[in-house]
A and B are shown apart, each in its own frame.
Chain A
Amino acid sequence: MKCQNNAWVEYSYCQESCSSGQCTTSTSPTTLTVPVTNGGTPNQEQCQDGTLSNQCSITKPYFCSNGNLIENCNACGCPTGKECSNNACIIKVGEPYDPGGKEEKKEGNENLLNIPPIISPIGPKTLKVSQEIEFKVNAIDSNKDPLTFSFENNEKRILTSLLECSMLENAVRCKGLKEGEEIIKIIVSDSVNNVEKLMEMNILKELPSSDIKVAAGLANTAPVADAGSDITGIPGQKIILDASKSYDKEGLLSIQETYKWYQNNELIGSGKNIEKTFSIGNYNIKLVVKDSENVISEDEINVIIKEKLSCKNTKTTYYPEDTICNNKWPIKEGSEFKINSLTEGSCSLFEVCSEDLDPIIEDSIKCCTEKELSDSNKISSCNFAIENSNTLKNCQAVYLIKSLGREAVYMEGYLDAEMCCKGVESLCPKESYLYSAQPLPENLKNKGLKCSNNPENNPNGIWKSDTNLALNEIALSDVPAHASLNILKSGTCVDYSVSATTLLRKVGFSKDDVITIEASNHAYNLIRFNLDKKYTLFDMTGNNEGLKLGKVPQGYDYCQNIINCYNDNGKIDCPSNKEIIGCENVKENIGRSTGVIGGKIKNIILELFEKIKAEVLR
């Protein structure tokens, strides 16, 4: 086994140094760190997972030897699916087998081949007694079967003690009769399968205004309008005005007229979020939120439309304001660094300025502004995003992340050919594929992707051409985001992570909020969602189901192994584990590049300076 500094060897990454063909990094994946007790001497009695010395850990194949967990499958065996060879666990290579199953004649059993319809999320609705609201139920059917909509028991009309609802095609009209909460069931049928969705209805009673002396909790409180932060855009860009942070203790009515947007006192639209384009200039936009008792609250934001200050040399519409980039691949810009292969500058890897990726951002807007997404592959990511996010930006982010996962909307599978070409035996499905551009997904077959590597000459590849794929050496190359998403439509961990970071930055998440992580033998991401205090860790490598809101995904020691952090602004400081949801109690890697203390002091001084400056000016 030979290695190079800062390169992959087998499935480990030689971050620091390479000696006699072996990685000598302190973060070698097979050497687990041992907790140091008081006085700096390792605890000789047991290993970090609690295994007593000279005993096997419950995590196969680890053996506790002098306080260190070492791999010893001869003594401890291997996990399921692996076998022990030369005291190392290797993946059991088995032959595909017949799983059995039941066979039926197709005739008369066609129903088995029906895919049930999917209903888009229907959020809770709030209305007043005697008030009517109307909304639509959106559903999609992959088989393009005609859909019918109804309430329970195929009813088109329901009457409960609290409300009365009727259904006309997919339009629902409800009238509040009495205050309270009610759950109604909506059923969509494609004539073979019925799919149901529960919907929460909240009927508000009339409340006296708070200036009338009534007991606390019985008076109406005023709503709070929140139009978000000021928005900067370019001429022709669709600007989305988002009022989703507005609230009211009694609940805001589910009607468009609850939110009204004004420009120079002229109404420009109604609804929680509206889309608008502006020409160059500064615009003062007012949001007026009205509650069920007609009490209003106002908030104002400035929309500043100007020529681009960043991404000046591309036609992109969606880009982050705080990027150092003005160009996209192949122009060298930004700092150079090496994750697998040397970048042509951070801006040509994390291509936040690429207009080729704008359609993906537009998909996320379509999904989150509740316009119908016609593609059934996208609907499942979109539904998850709508159901699990509280602001428009978070919804866009969740959609984009999920679409790289099992839904495989923009990237599909794992590009084994990158590893095979590099000769990484443990990550190449067949020995015969080693040092060749194989196996390739359908869309890349016969496109001429190249692998000139051999055991003696084994450099990492580089992306050279979008049009002539034969010019691109595929061996473990870190591919520009546009090529991973639009040409290869697949990749390895770095490619998935770079694509996610690029797309999320284009949505508008700040440079401190979206990060690609380089770990000792892996790459993944961090995002600090809008309104969140901490970062969420996710890993979509090879369509992994790697976004678990509120926790860390399974399958890897994500918190422990973080080494370096990157985005379009180059190499950046990594957050501490205390700032990552689910990592709070995990010991950090010694080699992690973090500027926590320096950064905090710098921020405090800057904040103090700004405060003093403001006081002096005042």
Chain B
Amino acid sequence: MKAIIYLIMLLMVANIALAQEIKVVKESVPEIGLNEVIEIKIHISNSYSMEKEFTIEEILPQDVMVIAPEEFFIKKNDALELKYYEWTTKISPNSIKTIMYQIRPLSLGEYSLGSTEVIDKSDLRSYSSNILTFNVKCIPNNKCEVNENINTCPEDCQSGAKDGVCDYKADGICDKDCDYEPDCKKSNFNINYITIPLGVIILIIILFIILSKIFKKKQENYKKEEIKTDNSNKSDAQERDPLKGL
């Protein structure tokens, strides 16, 4: 019986504790166009019966322009510079505070905003929000531009476009970003199979010509020397010939 009473009491305490939770929820629209400003809302609830003061840290994505509030901070993670907001705010008992900020994303595709970290100044307990993702759509202009690809701008970048993304699809267009694709006929012929043996043969021929020339030259020199020595022998013999000049 006692055990049941304790259990009920424990459940009641747990319920009160749960009711007093600090909750942080982040929201935005799921999609915007390029060059548009997105507004992010952070809702923080204070379920306690007393006013609470919090510090809030919100890390901003890399590729954005900060619109409002204008004052942000920068910190370094190794060589990476991170823009972030650091705020303090007071929230009345049993209230929800909504803080808003605006950024302009500078590239296309999916953006993720990590958890907002909220610290209760009274006990230094930390609370995190949900992760928020939103998509930045391209403005189609029938040109697949430098920062667009089939994932971020399928309207402009058709399958097979050279956009850095391999689109593996049997659609009759060879995607040059792929190493292997149904429409790209991979030739087994490698030009090196011809050039290298040919190079080696040419090298051997050149070497043969050079060597034969050297050999020929040596032979000629030898012959010349032989003739020379023959002639000198003859002249020597003539010099020594007592009948010379007769």
Interface residues of A (CB under 8 A from B): 11, 29, 80-82, 91-92, 94, 96-107, 109, 112-116, 142, 224, 245, 247-249, 376-377, 380, 384, 388, 390-391, 405-408, 414, 426-427, 429, 442, 492-493, 519, 521-523, 529, 531-534, 539, 541-546, 548-551, 553-556, 581-582, 604-605, 607-608, 611
Is A103's CB under 8 angstroms from B95's CB?
yes
Q: Are A92 and B164 in contact (CB under 8 A)?
A: no
Chain A residues with CB below 8 A from B190, complex form: 607
Q: Could you give 29 example pairs across A and B, Cβ below 8 Å?
A: A97-B86, A98-B90, A99-B56, A99-B69, A99-B89, A113-B23, A113-B45, A245-B168, A247-B182, A380-B112, A406-B113, A408-B115, A408-B131, A427-B78, A492-B78, A493-B77, A522-B78, A531-B180, A532-B179, A533-B176, A541-B80, A548-B107, A550-B149, A551-B147, A555-B80, A555-B81, A607-B190, A607-B192, A611-B193
- A residues within 8 A CB of B92? 103
The residue on A at minimum CB distance from B64 is A554
Q: B55, B126, B130, B131: which contacts A96 (Cβ < 8 A)?
A: B55
B79 touches A519 (CB 8 A): yes
Cα A556 to Cα B82 with chains together (Å): 11
B86 and A96 form a contact (CB under 8 A) = yes
Q: Flag whether B83 is at the interface (Cβ < 8 A).
A: yes
A244 to B229, CA, bound (A): 86
6 further A-B contacts with Cβ under 8 Å, apart from A101-B89, A380-B112, A534-B177, are: A81-B72, A104-B96, A106-B96, A407-B114, A544-B62, A556-B80
A532 to B113: give the CA distance in the assembly, Å.
28
Contact of B94 among A107, A114, A405, A551 (CB under 8 A): A107
Q: Contact string, B86-102, partner A, CB cutoff 8 A, digits 1/0?
A: 11111110111111110
Question: Using Cβ atoms and an 8 Å threshold, which residues of chain B touch A94?
Answer: 71, 73, 86
Asked whether B110 is an interface residue with its Cβ less than 8 Å from the other chain, the reply is yes
Residue of A247, A384, A531, A532 near B110 (CB, 8 A) is: A384
Q: Does the CB pair B192–A91 fall under 8 Å?
A: no
Q: How large is the interface on B (under 10, 10 to 19, 20 to 34, 35 or more residues)?
A: 35 or more
Interface residue B25 (Cβ < 8 Å from any Cβ of A): yes
Alpha-carbon distance A86/B196, docked complex (angstroms): 60
Taken residue by residue from 180 to 201, chain B's Cβ proximity to chain A (1 for < 8 Å, 0 otherwise) reads as 1110000000101100100000
A604 contacts B112, CB within 8 Å? no
User: Would B170 and A224 count as touching, CB distance under 8 A?
Assistant: yes
A247 to B178, CA, bound (A): 15
Partner of B169, one of A101, A247, A376, A492: A247
Which chain A positions have C-beta within 8 A of B89?
98-99, 101
Flag if A531 contacts B179 (CB, 8 Å).
yes
Determine if A604 and B45 form an interchain contact, defined as CB atoms under 8 angstroms apart.
Answer: no
Decide: A532 near B98, CB < 8 A? Known: A81-B83, A99-B69.
no
Residues of B within 8 A of A521 (CB): 78-79
Tell me, rounded to whole Å, the shortest Cβ–Cβ distance linking B169 to chain A: 7
Q: How far is the CB of B67 from chain A (nearest CB, A)?
A: 13
Q: Is B133 an interface residue (CB 8 A)?
A: yes
- A406 close to B112 (CB less than 8 A): yes
Minimum CB–CB distance from B196 to chain A (whole Å) comes to 6
* Bitwise interface map of B from 104 to 117 toward A, beta carbon under 8 Å scored 1, else 0: 00010111111100
B109 contact set on A, CB distance < 8 A: 548-549
Q: How far is the CA of A376 from the CA of B128 in the complex (A)?
A: 13
A101-B100, A407-B131 in contact; A390/B78 too (CB < 8 A)?
Answer: no
User: Smallest CB–CB gap between B75 and chain A, Å?
Assistant: 7
Residues of B close to A224: CB separation below 8 A = 170, 182
Residues of A within 8 A of B69 (CB): 99
Contacts of B56 in A (CB 8 A): 96, 99
B207 contacts chain A at the CB level, 8 A cutoff: no
Chain B residue, CB-CB nearest to A539: B80
A112 to B45, CA, bound (A): 9
A406 touches B131 (CB 8 A): yes
> B43 at interface (Cβ–Cβ under 8 A)?
yes
Contacts of A604 in B (CB 8 A): 192, 196
A553 surroundings in chain B (CB, below 8 A): 62
A380 to chain B, nearest CB (A): 6
Please determine whether A531 and B149 come into contact, CB atoms closer than 8 angstroms.
Answer: no
Smallest CB separation, B136 vs chain A (Å): 12
Distance between A209 CB and nearest chain B CB, rounded to angstroms: 18
Would you give the shortest CB distance from A175 to chain B, in whole angstroms?
26
> With A and B bound together, what is the CA distance between A104 and B94 in angstroms?
9
Within the assembled complex, what's the spacing in Å between the Cα atoms of A542 and B57? Answer: 14
5 closest Cβ pairs, A-B complex:
A550-B164, A542-B77, A406-B112, A81-B74, A522-B79
How far apart are B8's CB and chain A's nearest CB, in angstroms?
A: 23
Task: Given A105-B95, A604-B192, verify A92-B79 contact (CB < 8 Å).
Answer: no
Query: Which residue of the partner chain A has the closest CB to B81?
Result: A555
Contact, CB under 8 Å: A533 / B62: no
Chain B nearest CB from A260 CB (Å) reads 20
B45 & A106 in contact (Cβ 8 Å cutoff) = yes
B192 contacts A554, CB within 8 Å?
A: no
- Given A98-B88, A551-B164, A555-B62, A533-B179 contact (CB < 8 Å): yes
Tell whether B33 is near chain A: CB-to-CB under 8 Å: no
- Shortest Cβ distance from residue B18 to the other chain A in the assembled complex, whole angstroms: 13
Fill in one digit per residue for B43-61: 1 if any A CB lies within 8 Å of its CB, else 0: 1011100000001100101
The reply on B32 being an interface residue by CB < 8 A is: no
A91→B76 contact, CB < 8 A: yes
Contact of B43 among A113, A442, A519, A541 (CB under 8 A): A113
B34 interface contact, C-beta 8 A: no
Given A81-B83, A98-B88, A553-B62: A532 and B166 interface contact (C-beta under 8 Å): yes
Closest Cβ of chain A: how far from B184's Cβ, in Å? 10
Taking the closest CB of chain B, its distance from the CB of A330, in whole angstroms, is 26
CA distance A29 to B80 in the complex (A): 13
User: Is A582 within 8 A of B164, CB to CB?
Assistant: yes
Q: Which residue of B lies closest to A195 (CB)?
A: B30
CB distance from B114 to the nearest CB of A (A): 4
* Complex Cα spacing A534 to B164, Å: 8
Check B71–A97 contact: CB distance below 8 A.
Answer: yes
Say yes or no: B47 contacts A544, CB within 8 Å: no
**Residues 153-179 (chain B) with a chain A CB within 8 angstroms:** 163-172, 176-179
* A606-B241 Cα distance, complex, nearest whole Å: 73
Q: How far is the CA of A434 from the CA of B190 in the complex (A)?
A: 59
Distance of A611 Cα from B190 Cα, bound (Å): 11
Decide if B151 touches A388 in the complex (CB within 8 Å): yes
- Whole-angstrom distance between the alpha carbons of A427 and B82 in the complex? 12
In the complex, are the beta carbons of A248 and B170 less than 8 A apart? yes
- Kindly name the residue among A99, A388, A427 whose own CB sees the greatest number of chain B CB atoms within 10 A: A99
Residue B239 interfacial (CB < 8 Å) = no
Shortest B80–chain A CB gap in Å is 5
Chain A proximity of B153: nearest CB distance (Å): 10
Smallest beta-carbon distance A336→chain B, Å: 23
Taking a contact as CB atoms under 8 Å apart, the answer to whether A249 and B62 are in contact is no
Residues A545 and B112 in contact, CB atoms below 8 Å apart: yes
Task: Report yes or no: A101 in contact with B94, Cβ–Cβ below 8 A.
Answer: no
CB distance from B73 to the nearest CB of A (A): 6
Which of B88, B112, B151 has most A Cβ within 10 Å? B112
- Minimum CB–CB distance from A202 to chain B (whole Å) comes to 13
For B25, B111, B164, B179, which residue has the most chain A Cβ atoms within 10 angstroms? Answer: B164
Cα A391 to Cα B81 with chains together (Å)? 34
B165: which of A107, A249, A550 is its contact (CB, 8 Å)? A550
Q: B77 near A544 (CB under 8 angstroms)?
A: yes
Kindly state whether residue B63 has any CB partner on chain A within 8 Å.
Answer: yes
Residues of A within 8 A of B88 (CB): 96-98
* CB pair A532 B177 closer than 8 Å: yes
Q: Which of B87, B98, B151 contacts A102 (CB 8 A)?
A: B98
